[in-house]
Structure 1
Amino acid sequence: MEPWELRRAVEAGRATASELGLRVDDVVVLHNSDRVALRLVPCEVLARVAPSGHLADSEFEVEVARRLADVGAPVAELDPRVDARVYVRGAFAVSLWTYYEPVGSEIAPADHADVFMRHHAALRRIDLDAPHVTDRVAMALREVSDREQSPELPDSDRELLCDTLSGLSAAIGADRAGDQLLHGEPHPGNLLNTRRGPLFVDLATCCRGPIEFDLAHTPEEVGRHYAGADPYLIHRYRALNWAMFSAWRWRRGDHMPDRDRWRGEGLNQVRAALGRCGRG
């Protein structure tokens, strides 16, 4: 968010928690993108604040979290002191979560794979209407196919992203026998190492697809410890994930910090991943 919008988002998070009886003396911005994560102290709440245009996504995330908590999934939980819902305040949608103090040690690849297997097992136990991975790919493809939506994307890079998104999406859609509910975007930044153990956060990206799509967001060593995962598919979906990431960075109005650097890095990662799966 731009500075002026961030100030309003911080105030929306603070005011929402205060009106619900939670003490807020200070607000720490933990993450700022198209939505923000705020640590509210001393009540120790994590407030996730999004523009009200993302209300449906915020409500979906809360529903996913509620259902996964019921089956003991390794996920961050909503704050138990308030109703498990999204609060609309002005132009923002606010959800309130338990804040977990991170611990310093890195998560070992074997432990990372273990929490993934437990998370995927929990996802198989819930019934949820979620989009397929290919639906998300189609959204990214529309961004890069439309010059008005991505006017600064060079023609050669546009062709690369269109070919990667359309080709790999077709391969995913051709065989759905092993599909299940997934986290959707479980990169290392969405797995917290806490005193309770590793916990997944940012659940709004939950979708349906092959487990290798989730594993493609992680360091390569993790997939080697996940029983039954296909390493070739992981490489292929890694290229797809980076292509989607790149599509979002080139769209008009993207607000990711240091966007120009990530535009170049995303394209480099697409080419590298395609080379590893023999499509370079």
Structure 2
Amino acid sequence: MEPPELRRAVAAGRVAASELGLQVDDVVVVHNSDRVALRLVPCDVLARVAPVGHLADSEFEVEVARRLNAVDAPVAELDPRVEPRVFLRDAFAISLWTYYEPAESEIAPTDCADAFLRLHAALRHIDLEAPHFTDRVAVALGEVNDRERSPDLPESDRELLSGTLSGLSATISTEHDRDQLLHGEPHPGNLLNTRRGLLFVDLATCCRGPIEFDLAHAPEEVGDHYKGADPVLIHRCRALNWAMFSAWRWRRADQMPDRDRWRATGLDNVRAALDRCHLD
């Protein structure tokens, strides 16, 4: 968010929590993108604040968390002191979560693989209507193919991303039929190393697809420790995921910090991942 909108988001998060009886003396911005994460102190709440246009995503995330918390999944919990729902304040959608103190130890690949296994097992035990991963790919492809929405994307790179998104999406969906509910974007930034263990956050991207689609977001060693994972499919999904990441970065409206660097990095990683798959 740009500074004026960020200030409004911070104020909205502070007021919403205070009105619910939580003590808020200070606010720390933990993450700032198209939506923000705020640590509220001393009540130790993590407020996720998004423009009201993202209300449906915020409500979906809360519902996913509520159901996963009920089956003891390794995911962050909604704050138990308030009603488990999305609150509206000043054109922002606000959800309130437990804040977890980070652990200082590094995450071992075996521990990470175990967290993925437990998450996927829990996801198989909940009944939830969620989009297929190909639906998300189609949205990214629409951004790439619309020159008005991605005006700065060079034509050669547009062709690379368009071909990767359409080709790998079709290949993965037709050659593999082991779909289940997934996190959707469990990259290292969405896996917290806490004193309570490893916990996944940012559940709004929940979708259906093969477990390798999730594993492709993790360091490569993690897939080696996940029993039954297909390494070839992980490589293909990694290339697809980098293509989706790159598509978001080339949107005119993208607000990711240091966007220019990530645009270049994303394209480099698409090419490297395709090389690992022996694909052009």
> By the TM > 0.5 criterion, same fold?
yes
Residues 185-229 of structure 1 deviation map (CA, whole Å, 9 limit, x = unaligned) = 000010001111000000000000000000000100000000000
Which is further off, 175-184 or 42-51?
Answer: 175-184
Residue 208 (structure 2) aligns with: 208
TM-score, scaled to structure 1: 0.99
Deviation, structure 1 residue 176: 5.0
The amino acid of 1:93's aligned partner reads A
Residue 220 (structure 2) aligns with: 220
SS of 2:147's partner is coil
RMSD (CA atoms): 0.6
Alpha-carbon distance between aligned partners in 2 of 1:39 and 1:199, rounded to the nearest angstrom: 17
Residue 123 (structure 1) aligns with: 123
Alpha-carbon distance between aligned partners in 1 of 2:45 and 2:110, rounded to the nearest angstrom: 30
SS of 2:85's partner is coil
Residue 60 (structure 2) aligns with: 60
The amino acid of 2:160's aligned partner reads L
Residue 150 (structure 2) aligns with: 150
SS of 1:10's partner is helix
Consecutive unaligned residues in structure 2, runs of 5 or more: none
Please state if 1:29 is matched with 2:29.
Answer: yes
Matches within 5 A, 1:92-103: 92-103=92-103
The amino acid of 2:60's aligned partner reads F
Residue 108 (structure 1) aligns with: 108
The amino acid of 2:152's aligned partner reads E
The amino acid of 1:159's aligned partner reads E
Runs of 4+ in 1 over 2 A off after TM superposition: none
Consecutive unaligned residues in structure 1, runs of 5 or more: none
Deviation, structure 1 residue 172: 2.1
Alpha-carbon distance between aligned partners in 2 of 1:174 and 1:253, rounded to the nearest angstrom: 32
Alpha-carbon distance between aligned partners in 2 of 1:176 and 1:149, rounded to the nearest angstrom: 32
Deviation, structure 1 residue 116: 0.3
Contact map agreement 1:134 1:172 (CA 8 A) in 2: no
Percent of counterpart pairs with the same letter? Answer: 79
Residue 275 (structure 1) aligns with: 275
Residue 196 (structure 1) aligns with: 196
Deviation, structure 1 residue 253: 1.1
Matches within 5 A, 1:115-264: 115-175=115-175, 177-264=177-264
Number of residues paired by the alignment?
280
